[in-house]
Amino acid sequence: MQHHVFTIAKACQQAGVENAVICPGSRSAPLVFAFTQNPQIKCISVIDERSAGFIALGLAQQLQKPVALICTSGTAGLNFFPAIAEAYYQKIPLLVLTADRPPELLNQQDGQMIMQKHMYGKHVLSSHELMCFEEDKVDYKLTERIVFNALEECMSDKGFGPVHINVPLREPLYNFGKEEIAVPKLTHKKEPTLTEGITLLPNLNDLGVAWKESRRKLIVIGQMSPNKELEALLNSFVNQDDVVVISDIVSNQHECSNAPLFDSILQYHDRLVLGLAEPDLMISFGGPLVSKSIKNWLKKQKPAYHFRIQPNKETIDTYQNVTHQIQAELLPYLKAFHSLRIFQNPLRKPFAETWKLLNKNTASALIAFHQKQIWCEPTALAHFVQYLPDNSMLQLSNSSTVRWVSWNGIPLKGLLIFCNRGTSGIDGSTSTAIGAAIAMPHKMVTFITGDLALFYDQNALWQKQLPSNLRIVVLNNQGGNIFNWIDGPSSHPTALDYFTTPHQLSVKILAEQYKLTYFSCNGFKDMSSVIHEFYSVGKGTSILELQFNSEDNKKGIADFRTIHIQ
């Protein structure tokens, strides 16, 4: 066995990696042994590689440090690809270690071997391949250098993200004993940290000039990790009558928004009314937005100034109206701008009051609709989120689930909210929630998903032990019913069978299969008592199924989407 694999594990441990998600396999046996024998690294065994990738993503999403992800050779590594793509666009650090066969066997009809070098293409920050050493010619220093460089690239000034190391290994794979674990002393000391070499505060004066000239300022916050310091800073902006802060549902900056129902505002009000809400200055930062209504509306805006702030050089101009691309660390830049003390001019028009009035009217209309207690997905969710534990975590699957929560808004309970909006797929939502719950064992994690997303990723539940702090809520509309109401598929009913996915699968049987506590609810009458029991201490991982009649649900959604605001 090639003992440099122990250098890989040791370098990861020394660089601060605390978790490794490992998939079974033979070619990866040396890597498995090296990581499981390192007492400083917690190893989690996951059978399904696609699920393993998203569990690792959920862990790294919460820990904000690299998690090692390990698999055997062949197509196993390809099953990591959806999670790697999500990590790339969501900027989550993963160190992907794929075992491989010796290079001389490539394309020689040897089993379980594909072209693994650079197989993730542009969806990783970088890609490396270790030497396949002869037993007596191992270069420990080279292995050490590659691993440390890879870990630094995971958290570089380009932003966090996945990095791939391909590890070719020759047989024998199992001739190891504990006496062989000795690793030469590593020379590298630095832990991977985000560099701070680009805080030159470009265009700070330009922003100051634009700020003074503008009377209608809109700050748009996309997908982000929680940041209390940023929240405090943004609150100083929002307390002005000419500033509106829009915080996307996955921005984790909800407490500082003065138009929390922006999604519904833009859905329900006509163009004439919304004309009063148009900005002349925009500042945007963070990742993508969930709300399609805000994205479409922003694309129609032509502000005199739009400052886009981000730490890397890539051009992000989603709405085709950016006037100033600012490469800078967000928090130092906003602090420096705030220190200019150019805020609050009493002569300015109360732009914020326009949005606050729209928000108030929208809130009244939503409350009136939900008080009718029509048992449909948006109303059921509007009621359910009121029961979420304070200071807990909410994980959302894609498709209609995250849209309903965005549309309805959330109670301000100190909630952390996450969704795989990097690539916006449903394929690993359950696995990501499980990884997040493992990373945060003392915080209740509620995962809300659709039936299709749950069944698609059901191998996520195929674990030796699921986290006891995880609660799963399933909106069961019998298969992909978002296509019944979004524009496009709904206008071609004869083709709906190719969009929707009707099924006869049972959430209850799924829960029984994985020995999870099961609850169900098909109306408002029993919701409060069921939810109280659902969150009871000691229940462990539990599933609550919200069951909907397909036709009644479809009609309720249609009524919800056409709420009339006076």
Let me know whether 377 and 335 are in one domain. no
165-201 pLDDT, tens digit per residue, is 999 998 878 766 554 455 556 665 555 554 443 344 6
User: In Å, what is the CA distance from 566 to each residue of 358, 365, 369, 513?
Assistant: 11, 8, 13, 50
Q: Distance between CA atoms of 423 and 162, rounded to whole angstroms?
A: 14
- If you ran DSSP here, which 8-state letter would residue 320 be given? S
What pLDDT does residue 179 have? 43
Domain boundary among 147, 169, 191: 169
CB 304 within 8 A of CB 210: yes
- Residue range 535-551, pLDDT digits in tens: 998 889 999 999 999 88
Q: Are residues 314 and 395 in the same domain?
A: no
**Domain CATH code at residue 25:** 3.40.50.970
Q: For 123, how many CA atoms within 13 A lie in the half-sphere containing its CB? A: 16
Identity of the residue numbered 154: C
Q: What is the pLDDT at residue 561?
A: 93
**What is the signed CA dihedral for 425, 430, 434, 440, rounded to 10 degrees?**
60
Q: Can you tell me the distance from the alpha carbon of 457 to that of 479, in angstroms, rounded to the nearest whole number?
A: 14
Domain boundary residue among 323, 356, 389?
Answer: 356
337/427 same-domain check: no
pLDDT of residue 172: 76
Domain of residue 233: give its range. 204-356
180 domain-assigned:
no
What's residue 201's pLDDT? 65
Q: Would you say residue 237 has pLDDT above 50?
A: yes
Torsion of CA 305, 309, 313, 319, to 10 degrees: -50
Given a cut of 80, whether residue 483 has pLDDT beyond it is no
Residues 416 and 537 occupy one common structural domain: yes
Is the same domain home to 218 and 315? yes
Identify whether residues 380 and 423 lie together within a single domain: yes
Residues 350 and 407 in one domain: no
Shared-domain flag, residues 245 and 297 = yes
On whether both 321 and 388 belong to a single domain, the answer is no
Q: Are residue 157 and residue 211 in the same domain, yes or no?
A: no
| Lowest-pLDDT choice from 20-24, 465-469, 473-477, 488-492 | 488-492
pTM for the predicted model, two decimal places? 0.91
Element at 337 (helix H, strand E) = helix 330-338
Q: For all residues of the chain together, what is the average pLDDT?
A: 89
* pLDDT tens for each residue of 205-221: 899 999 999 999 999 99
How many domains does the chain fold into? 3
